[in-house]
A and B are shown apart, each in its own frame.
Chain A
Amino acid sequence: MREKMKVHAFGVSPVESCEPLEVLLQEISACSLPDRVRSVGSNDYRVEDIRKKDGFWLVDFVKFREEHGPGAASKATPVRGFDFEENEVFSEETAMLYDPKTKHAVLQYNHYGARVGSIQEYFNCFADDEIYVYEFRPKYDEDAERRFKQRAATRNITFAIDPRFLNQKDREKGTALAQAIEIGESSNGARVELTISAGHERKRYLSKFIDKTAVALKLKAENNPDAVPKLQVGILPNLDSAVETVDLIAQRLSLTFEKIEVGEDLRFPRKARYKALRRAFNGWKKLF
């Protein structure tokens, strides 16, 4: 059986003057498995496997799913549960490749497993006193980025925000839980989509102020991809040309491997996942 696996690219930057990520990875690799467990949100995470190969760090994360899960069944046999040892739970795996030279990471996308936000938080809380603080920023397609940066003017911006959800900032600002839930609910919508356009008239462009909004939204999308699910900008490469639409979200650097071998235990083998990350990295090498 073969299945799809998606990977994303991220730039990793240490905040202020903290040590590079490889120093922390070295420290993690020296720890025993139980010592690598850290809590992020309400789940525990662990670096399950960590190794350095050909100058790259290959890291496999595990998210402990301390909740109910699926059973095993076939069309001919009834569903049955898995046999767990004491203290065992379902665990989700996510592989990451990190290149210390370019300071870029390639990350497997596992919807139920460790995702970039949790991984960033895991690293940041690994040691006490915030010795290690890193930011993982999604990498965008260089061509889209270049076209956006070199625009002569902006004719329209379409962006969407998800108003439903509370976030950590609400709590830090001291918003009560009931109120934080209610604020999202009062919008009664899952998504707010807004288009600011200069219209069809030639030689009318959006003002610099609105143009800056696109830059601010792009930055927001890089920091928190869930916050801005859509961001399209209609740009003019030069003032006489036609409008070109640049999708700054869709053009996030990602790659889908269509046929990753699934093992007999119905998991993606670690080796196959590492191999896919290496292939993705080699393909994007020039962009990093």
Chain B
Amino acid sequence: MALFLERVYPYVVAFAAGLLWFRFGASLPPGPDILGSSLTVGAILTGFLATAKAILMALDSPVMNRIRDTEYIKDLVSYLSQAVWLSFLFCGISLIGYFVDTANFYFGLVWIFVAVAMAAAFIRVVNIMLKILRHTPA
């Protein structure tokens, strides 16, 4: 995968999910359950990513040191911060859902876009993190 694609794919996937949502005119299920679950998922991911960030940045392994020596460190930090902010944003949107009509089509569209972008950004970070950890000598 090219670097450019790696940088944009969470948003491309989220955009595609938004298009499908639009195409099928979907809406969020009624009731606060979906909002409560979304809030929990967003909060767990935010916490997990904050911890993962601390572990990765302090990791003293050959591959991590090499990443630090190259400009890949900027990409890694950017991926981590995007994942954290998207998770945080997802929590925020879920909270807003308690005050607005969640059956509104545009609320659902924003919700699905952020949810998918967050999931893809999270997968991107975890994927890279596991590869780095696999590289770490025992």
Give the Cβ gap from A106 to chain B, nearest Cβ, in Å: 23
A-B contact pairs, 25 of them (CB 8 A): A43-B68, A67-B58, A164-B62, A164-B135, A167-B66, A168-B70, A168-B71, A170-B72, A171-B3, A174-B3, A174-B4, A175-B2, A175-B3, A176-B1, A177-B72, A177-B75, A178-B127, A178-B128, A178-B131, A180-B72, A181-B128, A181-B131, A182-B131, A185-B131, A185-B134
CB contact under 8 A between A184 and B128, given known A67-B58, A68-B58, A174-B3: no
Cβ-neighbour of A41 out of B2, B70, B124 (below 8 A): B70
Chain B residues near A164 (CB, 8 Å)? 62-63, 135
Chain A residues near B58 (CB, 8 Å)? 67-68
Chain A residue nearest in CB terms to B77: A42
Whether the pair B70, A176 counts as a contact (CB closer than 8 A) is no
Whether the pair A166, B67 counts as a contact (CB closer than 8 A) is yes
Most B-side CB within 10 Å, residue of A167, A177, A184 = A177
Find residues 52-109 in chain B having any chain A CB closer than 8 Å to their own CB.
Answer: 58, 62-63, 66-73, 75-76, 79
CB contact under 8 A between A174 and B2, given known A68-B58, A185-B134: yes
Bound together, the chains give a CA A83 to CA B6 distance in angstroms of 43
CB contact under 8 A between A176 and B5, given known A164-B135, A181-B135, A185-B135: yes
CB contact under 8 A between A42 and B73, given known A68-B58, A174-B3, A185-B135: yes
Any A CB within 8 A of the CB of B132: yes
Chain A residue nearest in CB terms to B66: A165
Whether the pair A42, B68 counts as a contact (CB closer than 8 A) is yes
Whether the pair A177, B6 counts as a contact (CB closer than 8 A) is yes
Find residues 123-180 in chain A having any chain B CB closer than 8 Å to their own CB.
Answer: 164-168, 170-171, 174-180
Chain A: residues with Cβ within 8 Å of the partner, total of 24
Cβ-neighbour of B70 out of A167, A184, A185 (below 8 A): A167
Interface of B is mostly: helix
Whether the pair B1, A178 counts as a contact (CB closer than 8 A) is yes
Most A-side CB within 10 Å, residue of B2, B68, B72, B124 = B72
Whether the pair A41, B69 counts as a contact (CB closer than 8 A) is yes
Chain B residues near A180 (CB, 8 Å)? 72
Find residues 114-135 in chain B having any chain A CB closer than 8 Å to their own CB.
Answer: 124, 127-128, 131-132, 134-135
Whether the pair A171, B71 counts as a contact (CB closer than 8 A) is yes
Whether the pair A166, B66 counts as a contact (CB closer than 8 A) is yes
Whether the pair A171, B135 counts as a contact (CB closer than 8 A) is no
Chain A residues near B4 (CB, 8 Å)? 174
Bound together, the chains give a CA A18 to CA B138 distance in angstroms of 46
Bound together, the chains give a CA A181 to CA B1 distance in angstroms of 12
Chain A residue nearest in CB terms to B70: A168
> 8 closest Cβ contacts across the A-B interface?
A176-B6, A176-B1, A42-B68, A181-B131, A165-B66, A168-B70, A174-B3, A41-B69
One digit per residue, 1 when the CB lies within 8 angstroms of any chain A CB and 0 when it does not, for chain B 1-35 equals 11111100000000000000000000000000000
Give the Cβ gap from B132 to chain A, nearest Cβ, in Å: 6
Whether the pair A177, B63 counts as a contact (CB closer than 8 A) is no
Give the Cβ gap from B2 to chain A, nearest Cβ, in Å: 5
Q: With contacts A117-B69, A166-B63, A179-B1 known, what are 11 further pairs, Cβ within 8 A? A: A41-B68, A42-B69, A164-B63, A165-B62, A166-B66, A166-B70, A171-B70, A171-B75, A177-B3, A177-B6, A181-B128
